[in-house]
Amino acid sequence: MADTMTTPNSLSREYDNQAQDSSPESSNGRAIVLHPNSRNHGIWSFSRGTIITAAFALLLGPLTFFWPQQQPCDPTDYAERTRRILKQTPLIDGHNDLPLMFRLELRNQIYDERFDFNNRLLGHTDLSRMRQGMMGGQFWSVFIDCDAKQKHFEDPSWVVRDTLEQIDVTHRFIEQYRKDLQFCDTPSCVRKAFRSGRIASMIGIEGGHQLGSSIGSVRQMYSLGARYMTLTHNCDNAFATSATTVATGGVDHGLTKLGREVIEEMNRLGMMVDLSHVSHQTMRDVLGIAKAPVIFSHSGAYQTTQHLRNVPDDVLRQLKYNGGVVMAVFLNGFLNKENPSAATIHDVVDHIFHIADVCGWDCVGIGADFFGPSFAPTGLEDVSKYPNLIELVMQRGATDSQAQSLAGENILRVWEQVERKAQQIQATGRKPIESEYSEREWTKGFAEDPYMLRGSRERLAADAPPMPDVYNTGKKTDTSGP
């Protein structure tokens, strides 16, 4: 696994001091020249100018502290370089399963006095460690597991209801800690939150099964604030084949017809398509039709560790063309298949460099998947450790601007492009997609219903299902009433 990895020679090892082009010709060849006013040659005008200059210097003096790269920095002082980078660019993580802990441990009763996000908690995430990790943004996953009892995508399930509850608890959690967290559904909100010192908090749905096979659901999830959806989790659904299916010997059918339509609808809405968890063929199929960049919210490079959850090189090359991003996962099993407990921060850096080598530095991001598994790689044990990753990436040769791209600029760029593409599509007047799952069963009507169209009564009331005796009255069910 890691031994297959070499640091790409193509990467610049130079320290990128991000020197600003100070040439007066730097902007579109047009120079800004300040002409001295020939009428102001008197002593008063001289002293007035001096006073004004001095006043400006006094006013602006303290602000220069915040201006980037004002003081030269020792290129080998990776901690200082990281600190400077993370003051300019929000460090954004693509995937954290904390909301699932609210569900499992608190039944979503987050006002329970046993839970205080300000306190040191077990597990990987709490507020003080997020601050220590200099985090600027987090996509919180509103994950509900695949329903093992469901044998058919039309079988009854609680998954959609439970997903709504996870969205609800995540919104309440962000609001409860609003001094430090800010809900964001746009990339501009993320930058604003970052400038105000808050950690931008976004919502991602981890699995198309959480839509109940319905494209209407994806529109509603979007309107509730979800800004990415992982196309599958560890089960197939009406849209696509998952990596787990292939790993357990199943056939890789890739994207279904309805799956192609859900991609089209997500592009129209401006919702990011997440390809973590999907099969390799699904990745290829989506990249073949996506009109906007896609993301992998928590995945690695398959060439580095041959785990089917990771992204193969041909897909990385397609991704370069697509403009998307792979947010590097910290999951031990995806980093070291043979000996997961031996996974370290160096393995994560190997994955990042491989992705950058094949796809470019515009393709890398961070998606730890904290609170997903119990164990994290040595050196990246919790959310306080992100700066270590940035430091190590620079130690291995990444420039400041490459490290900034990794930390957050890439995912923000992708999100901005997804938004722009949606605006373009909507401007064409494209209607929301009304396609349905091919084996969808619709509710039947009753003989007394006031139908709108001729023929509906005959068609719908003929085989109306019996009403369930939900009140347990023991009375014969009347199926003809309203």
Catalytic residues: 95, 97, 206, 233, 277, 298, 369
Q: Which of 97, 89, 329, 316 is nearest to 187 (CA)?
A: 89
Give bridge partners of residue 273 from the DSSP assignment.
Answer: 229
Scan for tokens 């009375």, then name that residue.
Answer: 475
Report, in angstroms and rounded to the nearest whole number, the Rg of the chain calculated over CA atoms. 27
Q: Which of 79, 80, 180, 203 is nearest to 131 (CA)?
A: 180
Distance CA 180, CA 200 (A): 9
Work out the number of other CB atoms within 10 angstroms of the CB of residue 445.
16
Output 429-437 pairs: Cβ under 8 A, ≥24 positions apart.
430/268, 432/219, 432/265, 432/268, 433/215, 433/261, 433/262, 433/264, 433/265, 433/268, 434/215, 435/215, 435/258, 435/261, 436/214, 436/215, 436/258, 437/153, 437/154, 437/213, 437/214, 437/238, 437/258
Three-state SS for 460? Answer: helix
Give bridge partners of residue 344 from the DSSP assignment.
Answer: 378
Terminal Cα-to-Cα distance of the chain (whole angstroms): 64
Sorted by sequence, the CB contacts under 8 Å of residue 79 that are 6+ apart come out as: 387, 391
Instruction: At 69, give phi and psi (nearest 5°).
Output: 55, 30
For residues 385 and 346, is the Cβ–Cβ distance under 8 A?
no
For residues 211 and 261, is the Cβ–Cβ distance under 8 A?
no
Q: Which of 348, 401, 392 is nearest to 85 (CA)?
A: 401
Count the residues in the chain.
Answer: 482
